Amino acid sequence: MFQRILIANRGEIALRVIRACQEMGIGTVAIFSEADRGAHYLDLADEAICIGPASSTDSYLKIEHIIAAAELGEAQAIHPGYGFLAENADFAEQCRDSDIEFIGPPHEAMRKLGDKVEARQIAIEAEVPVVPGSDGLITSDEEALRVANEIGYPILIKATAGGGGKGIRPAFDESMLLTELKAASAEAEKAFKNAGVYIEKFVQKPRHVEVQVIADQHGNVVHLWERDCTMQRKHQKLIEESPAPNLPLETRESICEAATRLIKNAGYYNAGTVEFIVDENNDYYFIEVNARIQVEHPVTEMVTGIDLIQQQIRVAAGEKLSFAQEEILCNGCSIEVRINAEDPDQNFRGCPGLIEDLRIPGGLGVRFDSHVYAGYTISPYYDSMIGKLIVHKPTREEAIACLLRALNEFQINGPGIKTTIPLAKKILNHPVFKSGQGDTKFVERTW
Ligand code: ADP
Ligand code: ADP
Ligand code: MG
């Protein structure tokens, strides 16, 4: 086992990894940008190293600085968290070239799966259903028109390197397709330094269902059941839960088995998530693999009782999985709400600032994963997510009631600070959500 791990991230997930390491008796090296200097979670690490100025391109994305910090801090492994460099195959490769274990998949598998067009191909080879769409990248207007006519409008133009809900544009007819194609490609080039786009059928009223998988380096692959992340705004998840409501048992078993098959075929190890959309007939289609730990991993931890970060570390250290598929049970229901410091009245613009007062709810089955506290200043430089409130109860009905109760207790105040809590409460209170009948556009349509 590793003696020391460097955490190449910040905020909530950095603290989450520090906690896992401490419970395993592993030392930790935290890194921080000048904007995060003084944050309390850094005190919990054995060592904290400044890696650059506030701008993430000069700090949390600076590969050489992070590897130098790992060498300086004598860390044998790096946990990338999510976002930043977590899905950067060059980073994973450079860590291993520097004799530092990357706590994630092999960089070869990550490179293949990180490209959505290639990932689609891997899914097809593993006989996992994909959304009808182009065979590969779109190379001309004529090809785009031909593919769209074959599958029928509306369609989605998606960036092959896209992520975080960005780089997805709909087109409803031929003229829109041609203008959006150019815009999508230019946007993808700017955001992801890769102009490649492909086309998928725009599935109407889908649900987002994803499967958590973990594999060791000895060929063992298991799934930890599914999560439903249908409550989204602008393709970004707001509320996540496990198990998925209203998913027929047959579909559930089939989708989990498909995800495991795909991961096996890809030569993948460590934790990963296979994302699908499920249509109104409960037919499911692969959309992408997230080759990292996910924001919403706690709901899976709550229903299975398995600490996913600790498992990631064990797998990276070469251990065999200590459980078989049949031993992984899904107990009760867990729901997570992402708390973003955003102003719903200002088009969800981030609202950084000083938290003067913070009251965190508690009680049976309530978990709050966050690095913030009263006196913490939310930085304008990074993601607006400041924490995740998670509940675990025997039934979905009880979980919703508990989460609403906890959100009512939650107080966060400071000059100009607004959060997405009011929106989360509206969703949780809505009969469509309560009955598990929503689709991915439900939130945008309703509010
Ligand atoms: P999850 O499925 O874990 O919710 P998200 O897609 O919301 O994943 O991404 C998690 C974090 O990683 C977010 O902070 C998001 O902004 C960031 N992220 C994910 N993929 C990319 C990408 N390709 N480029 C930039 N940021 C990304
Ligand atoms: P990202 O890498 O940004 O997470 P995804 O491919 O996972 O991109 O898609 C994000 C979200 O966009 C999905 O959860 C779903 O809501 C929506 N989406 C993606 N592809 C389709 C599709 N073909 N039809 C309908 N909705 C889709
Ligand atoms: Mg996704």
* Domains of the chain: residue spans and CATH: 4-103 (3.40.50.20), 132-201 (3.30.1490.20), 207-446 (3.30.470.20)
Atom of ligand 2 nearest to the CA of 131: 23
Atom of ligand 2 nearest to the CA of 165: 3
440 lines ligand 2 (CB under 6 A): yes
Q: How far is the CA of 240 from the centre of ligand 1 (A)?
A: 15
CB 346 within 8 A of CB 338: no
Q: How far is the CA of 282 from the centre of ligand 3 (A)?
A: 19
**DSSP string spanning 292-329?**
S--TTHHHHHHHH---HHHHHHHHHTTPPPSS-GGG--
83 lines ligand 1 (CB under 6 A): yes
Q: Which of 111, 292, 314, 338 is catalytic?
A: 292
Is the pLDDT at 345 greater than 90? The verdict is: no
- Dihedral angle of Cα 213, 20, 230, 178, to the nearest 10 degrees: -80
The sheet that has 77-79: what strands, in order across it? 47-52, 27-33, 4-7, 77-79, 101-102
Q: Which ligand is nearest to the CA of 235?
A: 2
Nearest CA owner, ligand 1 atom 14: 83
Q: How far is the CA of 153 from the centre of ligand 3 (A)?
A: 22
Average confidence score pLDDT of the chain? 97
Is the pLDDT at 186 greater than 90? The verdict is: yes
CB 28 within 8 A of CB 76: no
Is the pLDDT at 389 greater than 90? The verdict is: yes
**pLDDT score of 70:** 98
- Token pair listed for 104: 């994630």
DSSP-derived letter for residue 341 is: -
How far is Cα 78 from Cα 313, in angstroms, rounded to an integer? 10
- Token pair listed for 316: 């990276």
**pLDDT score of 173:** 97
Is the pLDDT at 164 greater than 90? The verdict is: no
**pLDDT score of 344:** 86
Q: What are phi and psi of 410, to 5 degrees?
A: -65, 125
Q: How far is CA 396 from the centre of its chain?
A: 22
Residue to mutate, 82, 190, 211, 338, ligand 1, most ligand atoms under 8 Å from C-beta:
82
pLDDT digits (tens, 9 = 90+) for 13-41: 999 999 999 999 999 999 999 999 999 99
pLDDT tier at 369, thresholds 50, 70, 90: very high
Q: What are phi and psi of 6, to 5 degrees?
A: -95, 140
> Of all residues in the chain, what percent carry a pLDDT higher than 70?
100
CB 168 within 8 A of CB 208: no
pLDDT digits (tens, 9 = 90+) for 405-436: 999 999 999 999 999 999 999 999 999 999 99
pLDDT digits (tens, 9 = 90+) for 372-388: 999 999 999 999 999 99
How far is Cα 268 from Cα 253, in angstroms, rounded to an integer? 21
Residues found in the chain: 447
Q: How far is the CA of 363 from the centre of ligand 1 (A)?
A: 30
164 lines ligand 1 (CB under 6 A): yes
CB 192 within 8 A of CB 159: yes
Tell me the mean pLDDT in the region 292-314. 98
**DSSP string spanning 176-216?**
HHHHHHHHHHHHHHHHHS---EEEEE--SS-EEEEEEEEE-
- Token pair listed for 169: 């544009």
Q: How far is the CA of 146 from the centre of ligand 1 (A)?
A: 32
- Token pair listed for 403: 């989460």
Which of 3-12, 77-86, 158-167 is predicted least confidently? 158-167
* Cα radius of gyration (the chain): 21
Among positive and negative, which fits the CA dihedral 64, 69, 70, 71?
positive
pLDDT digits (tens, 9 = 90+) for 279-289: 999 999 999 99
Residue to mutate, 295, 308, 336, 337, ligand 1, most ligand atoms under 8 Å from C-beta:
295
**pLDDT score of 165:** 85
Nearest CA owner, ligand 2 atom 19: 287
Q: Is 292 a catalytic residue?
A: yes
Question: How many alpha carbons lie under 13 Å from residue 445 in its C-beta half-sphere?
Answer: 9
pLDDT digits (tens, 9 = 90+) for 56-74: 999 999 999 999 999 999 9
Is the pLDDT at 136 greater than 90? The verdict is: yes
Q: Where are the beta strands (DSSP E) in 207-327?
A: 207-215, 221-233, 236-242, 270-278, 284-290
**pLDDT score of 275:** 98
190 lines ligand 1 (CB under 6 A): no
Q: What are phi and psi of 61, to 5 degrees?
A: -110, 5
Q: How far is the CA of 290 from the centre of ligand 2 (A)?
A: 12
Q: Which ligand is nearest to the CA of 13?
A: 1
